[in-house]
Amino acid sequence: MLLSPPPPPADFPGEAERPPRPSLGTGARIWLVRHGRVTAPDTAYGDADVPLSQEGLRQTEAVARSLAPLGARGVLSSPLQRARQLGEAVARASAAPLQITDRLKELHRGEWQGVARTEYAERWARERDAYWESTLTWRGHGGESEEEMVERAWPALIEAVDVATGGVAVITAHRQVIRALTAAALGVSPGASHRMELDPAHGILLRDASGGWILERTNAPSPGAPHAAEPPDGPPRDVVTQLR
């Protein structure tokens, strides 16, 4: 069961566009990589520290190998073990310094953390309209709003740009954090950003260009590896072109 908001209503008018956050213009490329699959309890876990599954451990090593040739200049990671183990593996493979920061922890889901997944889904259904009316500031679970999550996590993205100094840096974190940071950088509304797929052990690549942030890859199955396909008449197939 997907632990995310239910789809917006068919008549949902959409949110007003928000301006993209300013880039620094360094040319740095930042890989934001979601941790591998976890040994998930039958509950909503949010920012609880759940471990990786055996498959997730294998995915972690595969991602680290795929990123190693890029010569990352630094790795920033969430302290939660599922993301931290990925950060440690990438840092080892890349011979890069690793920084652990609480800013990159997953969204805290307040009173909803620890409830059974069936109950979690029922609560989302009851809060559906309220959520889609105010996706940035909604706090119906008593936990963290998306706006609060972005404000704490954004400085970590800027620090990754500084660490990269025009090269490559890696952030290892969680689906909601990566989705929200990407949406803030590009100026995509929070509601529309839920269309962005990000599977476990997949990555998003942002470039800090002089004219603003550029989304170069999304839901890339082997971060760091060449595009699986380069169509002659358009962008790589793992790039989402319609988010708004």
Residues with catalytic annotation?
A: 35, 106
* Structural contact between residues 16 and 190, judged by C-beta atoms closer than 8 angstroms: no
Residue 121 backbone dihedrals phi, psi, to 5 degrees: -65, -40
Residues 195, 160: Cα–Cα separation, whole Å: 25
End-to-end CA distance of the chain: 26
As given in the structure block, the two tokens for residue 103 are: 């800013």
3-state helix/strand/coil string of 27-80: CCEEEEEECCCECCCCECCCCCCCCECHHHHHHHHHHHHHHHHHCCCCEEECCC
Residues 83, 76: Cα–Cα separation, whole Å: 10
